[in-house]
A and B are shown apart, each in its own frame.
Chain A
Amino acid sequence: MSVKKVTVIDYGLGNVFSVCKAFEHLGCKVTLTDNADLLIHSDRIVLPGVGAFKSAMAELQKRNLVEPILTFSKKNKPLLGICLGMQLLLEFSQEFGTHKGLGLIAGKVEPIPRQIFQGNHRKIPHIGWNDLIVPEGGSWEGTILEGIPEKTSVYFVHSFNVVPKNPLYRLADATYEGYLISAAIRKDLLYGCQFHPEKSSVVGLKILENFLRV
C-alpha cells in the first residue's frame, strides 16, 4: 500500500503542529508548506486555522496563497478546512465587521448569538464536546464521517458559525443551547469541520483517516 500524503497549509496561524502530528500518527506523509507550487500539486490539502478571520485571510494573501487554494479546489481533489479553516471556505464572515473569505462555498459566517437560553446566558465561545447529528435527509456514507455513529461527541471551540446558503452542503449539525451549529460541511470533495478532529480523540483520528480515503 502506498503511503498517503497530505499537505497542510502553513500560514502562520493556528495549531498546525497538532494537525500534522495527528496525520503522522495515522502513518501519513505530511508536508507543511506555504509554497504555492507544492500546494497546487498536492494529493489533498488541509487548511487549519485558529484565530481571527480577518487576520487569517490577510496572512493567506500576504503569502499569495489564495489563488493557489482556489486553483487546487478546481481540480476536484480533497480539501479539508478545520475550524477557522472551514470558515474561510465561505464567501464572507461577520466577525468584527464584514470580511471576504475564499468563497468556495456560498454562504456566510456569523457570530453565535449571546442570548438567554432556558434562563441562562448562552456562553460564548462554544467550548467542549458536542454531539454530531445527521441533518435531515443527509447521509455520512462515503464521506469523512463514514462509520461514525450519530451522536458521537467531538471537540468544538469557536464563537462563530458557518451558514451555507445551500442546506445540502450541511454534512453534520450540532445544537448548542438551542442554536444550530454547522459542525461539518461538504461540497463534493471540499470538506469543512467546525470541530477539531485532531483534538477529538479516537473518533477524530478516524475522521482524519476517512479524509485520506475520500
Chain B
Amino acid sequence: MRNLRLIARLDIKGPNLIKGIHLEGLRILGNPQVFAKKYYDAGADEIIYMDSVASLYGRDNLIEIVRKTSQQVFIPMTVGGGIRSVENVTELLQVGADKVAVNTAAVKNPILLRDIAERFGSQCLVASIEAKQTGKNAWEAYTDNGREPSGLDAVKWAQQTQSLGAGEILLTSIDQEGTKKGFDVELLKAVSSKVSIPVIACGGMGNISHLVTVVTRGGADAVAFASVLHYNLLSFSDIRKAALNSGIKVRQCQ
C-alpha cells in the first residue's frame, strides 16, 4: 500500500489566509506563509493554496505568497484559483509551485487541461472538482469556488479530466466543506472507483475516524484538510500516529 498523503489546504483571499463553511462565510485567519511554514515544520506532506476569489486584481498577491512560501517550505505545493491559461501556469511554476489545480476555466474550456498536461506533464496538473450532492449517488460539479452550478455530473467530469491529462483530482465536497462533520465518503468512492489517477479527499475532516473512513471506504489516495489545522484541533503528529494505529501507511517523519 502507498503512503497516504496528508495535505494542508490553505484558502487565500488577497494577502490573507481565510476559512469558511461550505466555501462561504470567509473568515480571515492570518498570514498564509506563516501557516504554511508551521505546517511544513509540523510534518505536512504537501501544501495546497487555493485562491478563493482569484480575481485578476488579486493575482499579484497569490504569486507573492507562493514565491515567499517556496523560499522556506520544501515540500510540494499545489496552487489553484483563477488559472485561465498556460501562461498563468508558467507564472506559478516559475515562483515555486509544483502543481496547479484548475476548476472553473477547465469546465468552460476542457481543452485547457490538455494544453497544460502537454506543456508541463500530467504530474503538474490537478483537476479541482467541487461537488454538491443532488440526489442519491449523484453529484454536480460547481465552479467559481462553489458558487456556480456547471450542469456537469461530477463523476463523469472526473473521468473526463483524467482523459484530458489530469494527473490527480482534488475532490472537494461543498456540502461537507468547513463543517468538520466528515468527508462525503460516497462521493469519494464514486469517483475513485471510476478513475485510475490519485484522488485527494477534501472537505469535512473533523476527527481521525473521518480520515480512516474516507481512505478505507472511499478509496482516497490523499487527504486535505484545513479547519482542524487552523483551529488547532488536530496536529500532523496526532494524525500520523492515529493513521498508523488504524493500519494506514503514512510517511515516517524525522
Contact = CB atoms under 8 A, between A and B. Distances in A.
A153 interface: yes
B71 A21 contact: yes
9 contacts: A16-B94, A17-B67, A17-B94, A24-B71, A125-B122, A128-B198, A157-B123, A196-B76, A201-B43
A21 B96 contact: yes
Nearest to A153: B251
A51 B222 contact: no
Contacts of A155: 45, 75-76
Contacts of A199: 74-76, 98
Contact of A153 (B70, B71, B74, B252): B252
B238 to A, nearest CB: 18
Closest CB pairs A-B (n = 5): A129-B251, A153-B251, A157-B123, A51-B121, A17-B96
A127 B251 contact: no
Contacts of A52: 118, 121
Interface string B205-240: 000000000000000011000000000000000000
Given A25-B72, A123-B197, A201-B74, A128 B121 contact: no
A51 B119 contact: yes
Point out which of B43, B95, B198, B251 has the most chain A C-beta atoms below 10 A from its C-beta: B251
B2 interface: yes
Q: How many A residues touch the partner, as a band?
A: 35 or more
Interface string B69-112: 01110111000000000000000011111100000000000000
Nearest to A14: B93
Interface string B1-17: 01101000000000000
A213 interface: no
B202 to A, nearest CB: 16
B192 to A, nearest CB: 10
B168 interface: yes
Interface of B: 2-3, 5, 40, 43, 45, 67, 70-72, 74-76, 93-98, 118-124, 167-168, 196-198, 221-222, 251-254
A98 interface: no
A173 interface: no
Given A125-B122, A127-B123, A157-B123, A21 B196 contact: no
B95 A17 contact: yes
B123 A158 contact: yes
Interface stretch (A36-44, A70-78, A102-110, A202-210): A202-210
